Amino acid sequence: MDLENGQKTGYFLDQKDNRKRVAELARRKRVLDTFTHTGAFGLNAVAGGAKEVVSVDISPEAVAGVERNIALNKAGPVMSAVCADVFDVLRQYEEAGERFDMIILDPPAFAKSAAKVEKAYGGYKEINLRAMRLLVPGGILVSCSCSHFMSQDLFYDMLVHAAADAKRRIQIFEKRGAGPDHPVRAGYAKSEYLKCAVMRVI
């Protein structure tokens, strides 16, 4: 991780338990890891026995870091890094008929203010419905939002509408958040900012 120039501390510690969960679910799966940043979700999928991992980020600096991490973890035979806009990649993969067994969506905060929630809702919905279309029947989608302006209710409402537009059914079997070292302050809803839904897409 880049402690000096990386985003925030250079590494997002609040997702550590969710990454471990991905490792548990990734065995023998073809995995698409989007908005990968340091490649942490993808590397955990490799550690869990994934058969292939494609990690995507728009930042050339981030992708260079992912490639270094792939080498450090000797994950090269399984994992690759792609420098591209995730919105474009999801659309291109759909047009090409690509299919994945698991997709991880961990975007940056699309809603950085209350005034931008409606636009952010559309962005979250687009990546989720496209990911749902790319999954094999019964595939697993791990969908996250770190924006405290995107409430829990709004986030799960978005998933329902994304599934309807994608003509898929979803079974949410885990509603996760930040790790226990990021406790929620009672009475302060914004402290429960991280949403991480683990679902089966049918």
Where in the sequence numbering do the catalytic residues fall? 146
- Token pair, residue 62, equals 């981030």
CA distances in angstroms from 107 to 72, 86, 167, listed in the order given: 24, 9, 23
Q: In what order do the strands lie in the sheet with 170-176?
A: 79-83, 52-57, 30-34, 100-105, 135-145, 195-201, 170-176
In 3D space, the residue among 5, 10, 58 whose CA is nearest the CA of residue 36 turns out to be 58
SS3 assignment for 70-136:
HHHCCCCCCEEEEECCHHHHHHHHHHHCCCEEEEEECCCCCCCCHHHHHHHHHHHHHHHHHHHHHEE
At 138, which helix (H) or strand (E)? strand 135-145
- Token pair, residue 90, equals 């999801």
Measured CA to CA, the distance from residue 170 to residue 122 in angstroms comes to 19
